[in-house]
Chain A
Amino acid sequence: MSLFDHGVAKLHTLLKEGEVTVTDLVKESFDRIEATDDKIGAFLTLNEDAFEQAKRMDELAKTSDDPLFGMPIGVKDNIVTKGMRTTCASTFLENFVPAHDATVVERLHDAGAVTIGKLNMDEFAMGSSNENSAFKPVRNPWDPTRVPGGSSGGSAASVAAGQVLFSLGSDTGGSIRQPAAYCGVVGMKPTYGLVSRFGLVAFASSLDQIGPLTRTVEDNAYLLNTIAGHCDMDSTSAEVEVPDYTAALNQDLTGMKFALPEEFMAEGVAPGVREQIEKAIETLKSLGATIETVSIPSVKYALSAYYLLASSEASSNLARFDGIRYGRRAEADTLDEVFTYSREQGFGDEVKRRIMLGTYALSSGYYDAFYKKAQQVRTLMKQDFAKVFEEYDAIVGPTAPTTAFKLGEQLDDPLTMYANDIMTIPVNLVGIPAISVPAGLSEGLPVGLQIIGNYFDESTLYRVAHAFEQANGGFKMPQL
């Protein structure tokens, strides 16, 4: 039994009644990290001041009205935290201590959430297995010989292992949803622009989005309530009204229409995943929804378009790591050598590979053939998805084609590794929201159901995900 079994709403009541203190919650986190993180490797840095903060907050807990007050959270290590090391799991930033908080961190602190520490990830969020961390891999709490997914592997694993109540991740091509699926937790990639990117170390700026990973759909809605909304410091932040996402819960699905793209159930989907998703479809039908198979032919091209666009943007964004302003500087005689050697020594293989690919795709003579072409394909995909949403409330399917694979299994072949994201990438290219919710186990490993919605329609996703979760049983804690 863990205090975190209660979830946000119940814990909030217990705090107000004085049955539980903020210190109890922080202690629950640190005890669990102490007991399990040698095995999991989810944390890169722990907040040394957490207990002090908790102590100061204990007195205020009974009068606090914010549901997140006192709740322990883990933050992916590409989200900057003032005075707390932020490494992006890169040697380059091994000793980088930011001078400010990201907007999301500021909002969490204003709400009273307690940062427990910074979570491991693939270096600069590039990867699907967390093996690209420069410091240590994260292991899947369901089976430590397997990967937790990536790039927000630490964010997903820490929630699944009960180390924190919830966490923040970032999703550029599936980096919240795929690890959420592999670790059996709920992960939401919000609409592009809903959550401020100020203080998120940029990977691919037109695709990146911060989002919550939680045990339950309800907790996810609480967390998004806190972090969503316009921010002056992010020029791509949308000016939209943020509804109370918890208001979308506890509704049935009568009359709703969902599309199941045949491309998401094509060959390449593991039989065990297919079986759980087919069961999930039956569950959704039993809840009153109609589901029809559709075709979205352009998703076939999403992977190619994505790797060209994301790598191109990354090659530009990561130019700031020059050895001058942040983090590491190599010993060198000339300024140019400072650049080239700092980058050679500071970046890992996958990061270099993507910088190379992106630089090539943007270079003179190839721009039209690769970068512009990929942007045009992105337009076609937006049109295809818009057509689907004219007729359907949401799109459903698997989050990933397989369950968690073994460490080392896909390291040698970048293309095989990239294919893990085939069902999540289209969502980022189009800019719409999607959630992954646990949909049972296949051979002892979690499968995720992905629900994709129209722009700024997170409420519909929570409604569907919550109804499904209630019918299906929801979060299960792995035996560790």
Chain B
Amino acid sequence: MARITEAEVRHVAGLARLAITDEEVTHFTEQLTKILEFAEQLDELDTTGVEPTTHALDLKNVLRKDEVRPSLPREEVERMAPDWENGQVRVPAVFE
């Protein structure tokens, strides 16, 4: 059984960098359990020796020449991020 516990939900939320409320923990525990139980129907299929498909097409590595190309202008990129200063993204201090 894929019963997922509240502790696991909190752990997964931590991995996903989601600050979730107690209420969300309760309803995600219930809903994820249902979804995972449903997903267990896959166990009915024997997949011994079956290669996993990662992609619809059989693609090879696609490489381009290592050439300098024009980049996006900084003043336009600045509009995308919430906090800029002197041409750089500003973030809270990482180290004390």
Cα–Cα distance between A438 and B55 once the two chains are bound (Å): 31
Complex interface residues of chain B between 45 and 82 (CB less than 8 A to chain A): 45, 47, 50-57, 59, 62, 64, 72-73, 76-77, 79-82
Q: Give B7 Cβ to nearest chain A Cβ, in Å.
A: 13
Cα–Cα distance between A359 and B32 once the two chains are bound (Å): 12
Please tell me which one of the listed residues A341, A363, A455 contacts residue B15 in the complex, with CB atoms under 8 A apart.
Answer: A363
Question: Is B83 in contact with chain A by the CB < 8 A criterion?
Answer: yes
Question: Is A69 in contact with chain B by the CB < 8 A criterion?
Answer: no
Cα–Cα distance between A232 and B69 once the two chains are bound (Å): 13
Stretch at the interface among A53-61, A277-285, A331-339: A331-339
Secondary structure at the A interface, as helix, strand, loop or mixed, is helix
Complex interface residues of chain A between 340 and 356 (CB less than 8 A to chain B): 340-341, 343-344, 347, 352-353, 355-356
Interface size bracket, B side: 35 or more
Question: Residues on B close to A: CB < 8 A?
Answer: 4, 8-9, 12-13, 15-20, 24, 28, 31-32, 34-36, 38-39, 41-45, 47, 50-57, 59, 62, 64, 72-73, 76-77, 79-83, 89, 91-94
Known: A341-B19, A376-B51. A100 touches B72 (CB 8 A): yes
Cα–Cα distance between A52 and B93 once the two chains are bound (Å): 46
Beta-carbon nearest neighbor of A315 in chain B? B16
A-B contact pairs, 18 of them (CB 8 A): A96-B80, A99-B79, A193-B56, A235-B59, A324-B89, A326-B81, A335-B91, A336-B17, A340-B19, A352-B24, A355-B16, A359-B16, A363-B15, A376-B45, A376-B51, A379-B50, A380-B47, A431-B57
Please tell me which one of the listed residues B32, B47, B53, B93 contacts residue A360 in the complex, with CB atoms under 8 A apart.
Answer: B32
Complex interface residues of chain A between 410 and 463 (CB less than 8 A to chain B): 414-415, 429-432, 455
Question: Residues on A close to B: CB < 8 A?
Answer: 82, 96-100, 192-193, 206-207, 232, 235-236, 238, 298, 300-301, 303-305, 307-308, 315, 319, 322-329, 332-341, 343-344, 347, 352-353, 355-357, 359-360, 363, 370, 372-380, 382, 414-415, 429-432, 455
